[in-house]
Amino acid sequence: MSFTPEKMAPLKACRLGIDTHHEPTLYLRADSPICRSEGFESLSRILVNCQGRHIIASLNMVSSDLLEPDQAGFSESAWQRLELHANAEVWLSHPRPVQSLSYVRAKVYGHELDALQLQSIVNDIVEGRYADVHLAAFITACGDDALSDSEITALTDAMVKAGSRIDWGLEQVIDKHCVGGLPGNRTTPIVVSILTACGLTVPKTSSRAITSPAGTADTMETLTDVSLTLEQMRRVVRDQGGCLAWGGSVRLSPADDLLIQVERALDIDSEGQLIASVLSKKLAAGATHVLIDIPVGPSAKVRSQAAADRLARSFKVVASNLGLELDVLMTDGSQPVGRGIGPALEARDILAVLKNKPDAPTDLRERAILIAGAMLDMVGAAESGQGQARAREVLDSGAAWDKFHAICDAQGGLRVPPVAPYRYALVAPHACTVMGVDNRQLAKIAKLAGAPADPAAGIELHVKIGDRVEQYQPLLTIHAENAGELNYAVDYLTDHKLVLTLSDEACETTP
Amino acid sequence: MSFTPEKMAPLKACRLGIDTHHEPTLYLRADSPICRSEGFESLSRILVNCQGRHIIASLNMVSSDLLEPDQAGFSESAWQRLELHANAEVWLSHPRPVQSLSYVRAKVYGHELDALQLQSIVNDIVEGRYADVHLAAFITACGDDALSDSEITALTDAMVKAGSRIDWGLEQVIDKHCVGGLPGNRTTPIVVSILTACGLTVPKTSSRAITSPAGTADTMETLTDVSLTLEQMRRVVRDQGGCLAWGGSVRLSPADDLLIQVERALDIDSEGQLIASVLSKKLAAGATHVLIDIPVGPSAKVRSQAAADRLARSFKVVASNLGLELDVLMTDGSQPVGRGIGPALEARDILAVLKNKPDAPTDLRERAILIAGAMLDMVGAAESGQGQARAREVLDSGAAWDKFHAICDAQGGLRVPPVAPYRYALVAPHACTVMGVDNRQLAKIAKLAGAPADPAAGIELHVKIGDRVEQYQPLLTIHAENAGELNYAVDYLTDHKLVLTLSDEACETTP
């Protein structure tokens, strides 16, 4: 039992204007009576009540005049979640011990968790009872295939139940997901445009980047509004058949949004949590049919055919347990798809493909057609095996571009992606052939340059594996929004030359 | 490569007086030119340089008038570690990416780490390059026996090398450690007094509590100063043959001190990290002979003989790899030892045993004699098998008490432990026999009452397994330094009656 608020005098809320990101923080004077009477210390977890709303916040003690003894200071996230106003009366108390942390510990020690235990973990996460270190422990404990298929099923189901779920009242609602690890490869906006132009319903919600330089939501945000409310999303889908929204703003699987923040800091996302993350979002968004794209390559997220087969099998088992139709498509993951890596640079590639521009990246165009074709085949929207032909036709005719434009207009208008003012070009030291591309190093450099937080930042890759280049021909260009991050990315590139493998000798002179 | 400070203008240091505990935090105005030019965002990790000292801090953005645009605000831990003064010029830059985090990820994915990789993790931890979520991931990844004996050996060695190491120039320097899980059981001060009274060298450094209501350092701190410098410790050991100091103040295995902070928040300490933590402290403190006490019981840390055997084997292998003589003693872990649970309450038991008071807890006295005897046997300081007899003699004669008093005097004087003003007694609901004690629930309640941060807080346990009690006879008393925490502990006790198992029926009337 936690305290009833009546036992203590309230404090006056004070907005300190400190941004602690998603972890709500409370500030109290160390010499305030409440700290003595309640035994609060720095980093204690405190239950804060105000007019029927409550959060659990981490406490930072203040020994200066920043606050009066009867004031409680709040970080921005705490202020907003409690919907406070200056001098609002707030009550502080000890939260109940978080029972579900014992299940996290059980998982660390290798025990199988049941559905109730996983639901309890997910509910406590959504209610803000987990500090970041607890989220980090849960994520790590679930790493390296530590979750069985039935645990992944239960975790997925728990994540769906902890948020909103959309019912479209339709027999077929289709969706796709790429497990990633391949920079660029921004097929989703093209695929959604093709499928909706074919009359299918594709209410696409995408995430922001977890460990990559851009997620589809980051890229789409450089082209239109993606922070749609559920009502706005319903209207866009009703009018256009599809949308390209950010999943985080519609509270679909909110546990996933919290876990992803810490996964990003750790640069870890495990197979079990990957599947639960993806499928919980799809189920919550009301999808009935889902295509999973798994790029396979030596420096992609999935590095071998065996690993891809294992992941595909788990995806299918969990989807089937939860009544979802799911197909898997394995694709070439040996190098980036398209030229741009980073939100705005990828947006530029998408526009070029949709507008059928002569310099549009062929590999991105073909990858989008492959995926859209498989999805048309999957739901029977094309004669068997004719999906790709149908997709190509819709793209070539300009119908996909018209549909994309219409969706962006419905979401608030088509925008021009920003352009980065700071650039650095890496040129070939000698004439040679490009032998290999390290996807991970490319992603790292694009992130160091500022992507995805700086939308114009990233990398423009000018070559593909097998390309022959002359001496001083540009291989890639780093884009940044400020000099500091450009220098930072260039320093890293200078230290990690193997981002591109070039043949040693100058190649033969072209005849 | 990180930036050279010359590339940026310095900011002026401002002490905000915010206690963020061990994680150093930097505060900057969101609209300051440096945030734009460097692309800093909330929770970015920032390298802060000032007059040759540097730290890595987490950034919180400030959107209020707390700071001027040319000021950099600092938390207390950051301010102290940089030894700042008001308006000192500080330079900010991006730190190098933390390479060793890729080894933590490799461990999550089940890979064996080599000595260089573990040294690199430990060095980065000691240099403050890990945020708390990274420490949490490393701790969790090492959970559930994830470390092999050779990894534990390498981790231990790395932890020793990352701090100071004391060389006493003696052939025999002895030490002990109890793996814990048993509330109370504060034998160390008694054992050290007996052994030093026998003329042995026992430079004891102890930790504060990790997940328990008190560590030996917490308990000793209620009796004398434990924050000794290395020079003070050398002097006390030279004059008295032994000391009872806190290990954290002499920078022995400083990585351990940082890991323990997060282990406490997670309530996880894994077998591998337990061994590395214990042996790194012993090796750094210059020990040559170590006795490990493993209490075994259904609610102790080690619950079965098989688990105790496994742990003992790992301890012996790792010690032998590192050239340390090590014996293991398995002891009864079915219930607390002594009456007090919590720093001051345990100190009271220790004084009673050392002073041979008639009401001194017999179980604590006998446990201390058992351990001291085994250590005397181990180093050949008693005729074979006569260790216990010798220990008993030294205790009975008052020589151990004199030695304890002398050590405390040398450390700054013997103090009287504090007494808690708030108490709650749990009484027997009916006449009955005590059938069992849940060590974990007892520890939990003592912690909720405020231990170890509030030294007088904890539990006084009035009964042992097998005791027969009358109706309304007190079973235990909760002690607290404030009403809030007392109520909190009582609420929990009320919800968890099984802390003591009592026989159902009233027991027979004593004839």
**Pick from B16, B62, B454: CB nearest A64:** B16
State the average pLDDT over residues B30-45. 77
Residues A195 and A337 in one domain: yes
Q: Would you state the pLDDT for residue B8?
A: 60
Residue with token string 């790709």 = A388
* Nearest to B183, CA basis, from B435, B441, B356, B419: B441
Q: Which CATH number is A479's domain given?
A: 3.90.1170.30
| Mean pLDDT, residues A280-301 | 93
Q: Which of A2, A19, A25, A496 should we substitute to test contact with B (largest number of B Cβ atoms within 10 Å)?
A: A19
Q: Looking at per-residue confidence, does B444 or A121 come out higher? A: A121
Using a CB–CB cutoff of 8 Å, tell me whether A317 touches chain B: no
Closest-CA residue of B relative to A109 is B144
Residue A510's pLDDT is what?
A: 44
Look at chain A and count its residues. Answer: 511
DSSP H helices in B144-212 = 149-161, 188-197
pLDDT tens per residue, range B144-170: 778 999 999 999 999 999 998 999 999
Same domain, A388 and A243: yes
Residue of A nearest to B15 (CA): A64
| Chain A interface includes B27 (CB < 8 A) | yes
User: Is A496 found in the same domain as A442?
Assistant: yes
- Count Cβ–Cβ pairs < 8 Å, chain A vs chain B: 192
Q: Are residues A296 and A374 in the same domain?
A: yes
pLDDT of B2 reads 40
Q: Which of B160, B216, B255 is nearest to B343 (CA)?
A: B216
Taking an 8 Å cut-off on Cβ atoms, the answer to whether A19 and B141 are in contact is no
Res. B510: pLDDT tops 50: no
With cut-offs at 50, 70 and 90, classify the pLDDT of residue A506: low
**Mean pLDDT within A22-45:** 82
C-alpha A82/C-alpha A71 separation (Å) is 16
Q: Is A269 a catalytic residue?
A: yes
Across the interface, whether the CB atoms of A18 and B484 are under 8 A apart is answered no
- The answer to whether B109 contacts chain A (CB < 8 Å) is yes
Q: Nearest 5°: phi and psi at B505?
A: -80, 155
Asked if A402 and A426 sit in the same domain, the reply is no
The whole-number average pLDDT for the span B51-68 is 91
Query: What number is the average pLDDT over the span A358-363?
Result: 96
Q: Which of B26, B60, B96, B422 to mutate to test the interface with A (most CBs of A within 10 A)?
A: B60
Task: Report if residue A137 sits inside a domain.
Answer: no
Q: Are strands A325-332 and A289-296 parallel, antiparallel or unpaired?
A: parallel
My answer on whether B246 and B329 are in the same domain is: yes
- Give domain status of residue A163, yes or no: no
Cα–Cα dist A253/B37, whole Å: 35
Average pLDDT for B261-271:
80
Longest dimension (CA), chain A: 89
Interface test with A, best of B3, B6, B19 (most A CBs within 10 A): B19
Strand order in the sheet with A500-502: A468-469, A432-437, A500-502
pLDDT at B505: 63
Q: Is residue B404 part of a domain?
A: yes
> What is the pLDDT at residue A4?
39
* Subunit contact A485:B42, Cβ cutoff 8 A: no
Residue B142: closest C-alpha in chain A: A108
| Residue B227, burial from CB neighbour count under 10 angstroms (0-12, 13-18, 19+) | middle
Cα diameter, chain B = 89
Residue A387 sits in a domain of what CATH number?
3.40.1030.10
Other Cβ atoms within 10 Å of A55 Cβ, number:
21
In single-letter form, the type of residue at position A32 comes to S
Which amino acid type is present at position A493?
Answer: L
Give the active site residue among A157, A269, A293, A363. Answer: A269
Quick count: other Cβ atoms within 10 Å of Cβ B357?
11
Cβ atoms < 10 Å from Cβ of A230? 14
Return all residues near A110 (Cβ < 8 A) that are at least 6 apart.
A146, B144
Question: By CA distance, what is A455's nearest residue in B?
Answer: B39
Q: Indicate yes or no: CB of B453 within 8 angstroms of CB of A41.
A: yes
Q: Taking a C-beta distance cutoff of 8 angstroms, is the pair A472, A413 a contact?
A: no
Residue spans of alpha helices (H) in A204-329: 216-221, 230-240, 254-266, 271-284, 305-321
Task: Confirm whether A346 is domain-assigned.
Answer: yes
Whether residues B62 and A36 touch (CB distance < 8 A) is answered with no
Band of pLDDT at residue A79, cut at 50, 70 and 90: very high
Boundary-marking domain end, from B375, B410, B445: B410
- The C-alpha of A12 sits at a distance from chain B's nearest C-alpha, in angstroms, of 18
pLDDT value for B311? 94
* Structure tokens given for B163: 């701090």
Task: Please identify which residue in the block is written with the tokens 């919907």.
Answer: A83
What's A19's domain CATH number? 2.40.40.20
pLDDT of residue B506: 52
| Residue of B6, B36, B43 best to disrupt the A interface, most CBs of A under 10 A | B43
Residues of B in contact with A15 (CB under 8 A): 64
> Is residue A316 scored above 80 in pLDDT?
yes
What H or E segment, with its residue span, contains residue A340?
Answer: strand A340-341
Question: Is residue B1 predicted with pLDDT exceeding 50?
Answer: no
Do residues B231 and B355 both lie within one domain?
yes
Chain B contacts in chain A segment 134-173 (CB below 8 A): 134-137, 139-141, 143-144
Distance of alpha carbon B454 from alpha carbon B456, whole angstroms: 6
pLDDT surpasses 60 at A7: no
Helix axes B188-197, B387-396, angle to 10 degrees: 90
Contact B36, B93 (CB under 8 A): no
| In a shared domain, residues B305 and B201 | yes
Statement: residue B464 has pLDDT above 70: yes
- The reply to whether B293 falls in a domain is yes
Q: Is A106 among the domain residues?
A: no
> Which has the minimum average pLDDT: A188-197, A501-510, B263-272, B465-474?
A501-510
Contacts of B15 in chain A (CB under 8 A): 64
Both structure tokens of B366: 């006998």
Distance CA B223, CA B414 (A): 6
Same domain, A354 and A451: no
Partnered with residue A27 across adjacent β-strands are: A60, A73
CA proximity to B20, closest of A80, A101, A138, A75: A75
If asked whether residues B397 and B489 sit together in one domain, one would say no
Whether A267 shows a pLDDT value over 90: the answer reads no
Residue type for position A25: T
pLDDT cut 70: percent of chain A above it: 96
CA dihedral B292, B297, B302, B307 (to 10 degrees): 100
State the nearest Cα–Cα gap between A76 and chain B, in angstroms: 9
Q: Is residue B39 part of a domain?
A: yes
State chain A's mean pLDDT as an integer: 91
| B433 vs B429: CA distance, rounded Å | 11
The mean pLDDT of chain B is 91
Residue with tokens 């590095």: A303
Alpha carbon dihedral B73, B78, B81, B85, in 10-degree steps, equals 20
C-alpha to C-alpha distance for B87 and B101, rounded to whole angstroms: 34
Catalytic residues of B: 269
Per the CB < 8 A criterion, the answer to whether B397 and B218 are in contact is: no
Cα B159 to chain center, whole Å? 16
| pLDDT tens-digit series, residues B168-211 | 999 999 999 998 778 899 999 999 999 999 999 999 998 888 77
| Co-location of A238 and A320 in the same domain | yes
The pLDDT score that the predictor gives to residue B110 is: 87
- Rounded Cα–Cα distance for residues A215 and A213 (Å): 7
The reported pLDDT for the residue numbered A442 is 93
CB contact under 8 A, B265 and A133: yes
- Classify residue A468 by burial, with Cβ atoms within 10 Å: 0-12, 13-18, 19+: middle
Domain identity same for B210 and B318: yes
What pLDDT does residue B382 have?
86
Hey, are the CB atoms on B63 and A132 less than 8 Å from each other?
no
The predicted pLDDT at position A185 comes to 92
Last residue of a domain, one of A76, A93, A110: A93
Interface check for A133 against chain B (CB to CB < 8 A): the answer is: yes
CA separation for the pair A202, A240 (Å, rounded): 9
User: Is residue A435 situated within a structural domain?
Assistant: yes
Structural domain total, chain B: 3
- Contact between B132 and A133 using a beta-carbon 8 Å cutoff: yes
Is pLDDT above 90 for B89? yes
ipTM of the complex: 0.79
| A64 interface with B at CB cutoff 8 Å | yes
Q: Does B263 touch chain A (CB under 8 A)?
A: no
| Last residue within a domain, chosen from A371, A391, A411 | A411
Determine if residue A302 is left, alpha or beta; phi over 0 gives left, psi from -120 to 50 gives alpha, anything else beta. beta
pLDDT at position A37 over 80: no
CA distance A180 to B154: 35
Percent of chain A with pLDDT over 90: 72
Distance CA(B218)–CA(B216), nearest Å, equals: 5
- What is the enclosing helix (H) or strand (E) of B206? strand B202-206
Domain range for B62: 5-93
